[in-house]
């Protein structure tokens, strides 16, 4: 429901049309998760269907703004007030992968862990680089999104190391690190 509520939140700032919504979304969230323009319109259609948003008369150059309704505002406030639990989230594919790898014949769990660890480490460095580069001082939300990615990736690496220790009889190869 990220996009659904995302668009709703953007419309709370004032009426906007499709392309503006995409720009505003990517401005706030950053380039981490690009938003397909088609997705904007399908989601807007569903929001109109549920009467959380209403479509305004077409502006001059074929631009049709959408406005949040009172019901939409209520829904949005509810979203902000309600905390998100881990179980509400989609199943984590990596966790499932490793849990199942343990009992899958012919799969070298150590290799799976180390491949993922290398990729996650690269991703982490890329996030850090991006944070230093494209984060302008005024864009707080963009920086926080990048920080979230960094925190999550660091946790993932720690968990992978924990897994390697838990399962691997083989040593965690201390020479493989680049500090």
106 is a site residue for a second copy (CB under 8 A): yes
Closest to DNA by CB, 100 or 140: 100
151 is a site residue for a second copy (CB under 8 A): yes
99 is a site residue for a second copy (CB under 8 A): yes
Which residues, 42 to 71, sit near a second copy by CB under 8 A? Answer: none
Structure tokens of 30?
């950053």
Per-residue CA distances from 21 to 27, 60, 146 (Å): 10, 18, 21
Closest to a second copy by CB, 58 or 108: 108
Which of 14, 27, 32, 42 is close enough to bind DNA by CB under 7 A? Answer: 42
178 is a site residue for a second copy (CB under 8 A): no
64 is a site residue for DNA (CB under 7 A): yes
Residue 36: CB partners within 8 Å, gap ≥ 6?
Answer: none
Instruction: Write down the residue that tokens 């990615």 correspond to.
Output: 149
Confirm if 160 and 172 have CB atoms less than 8 A apart. Answer: no
Binder of residue 18, out of DNA, a second copy, none (CB less than 5 to 8 A by kind): DNA
Which of 3, 21, 40, 53 is close enough to bind a second copy by CB under 8 A? Answer: 3
Closest to DNA by CB, 77 or 118: 77
27 is a site residue for DNA (CB under 7 A): no
For residue 111, the minimal CB distance to a second copy (Å) is 8
CA distance 27 to 165: 41
Which of 56, 59, 96, 134 is close enough to bind a second copy by CB under 8 A? Answer: 96
Structure tokens of 137?
């001082």
68 is a site residue for DNA (CB under 7 A): no
CA distance 116 to 150: 16
The DSSP-derived string for 3-35 is HHHHHHHHHTTS-B-HHHHHHHHHHHH-TTS--
């Amino acid at each position: 429901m990220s996009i659904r509520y995302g668009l709703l939140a953007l419309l709370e700032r004032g009426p906007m049309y499709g392309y503006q919504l995409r720009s505003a979304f990517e401005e706030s969230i950053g380039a981490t998760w690009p938003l397909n323009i088609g997705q904007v319109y399908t989601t807007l259609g569903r929001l109109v269907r549920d009467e959380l948003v209403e479509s305004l008369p077409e502006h001059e150059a074929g631009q049709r703004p959408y406005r949040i309704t009172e019901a939409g505002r209520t829904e949005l406030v509810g979203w902000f007030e309600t905390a998100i639990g881990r179980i509400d989230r989609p199943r984590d594919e990596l966790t499932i992968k490793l849990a199942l790898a343990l009992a899958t014949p012919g799969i070298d769990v150590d290799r799976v862990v180390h491949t993922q660890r290398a990729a996650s480490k690269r991703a982490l460095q890329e996030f850090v680089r991006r944070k230093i580069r494209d984060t302008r001082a005024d864009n707080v939300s963009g920086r926080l999104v990048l920080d979230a990615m960094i925190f999550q990736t660091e946790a993932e690496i720690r968990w992978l190391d924990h897994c390697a220790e838990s399962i691997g009889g083989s040593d965690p190869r201390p020479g493989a690190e680049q500090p």
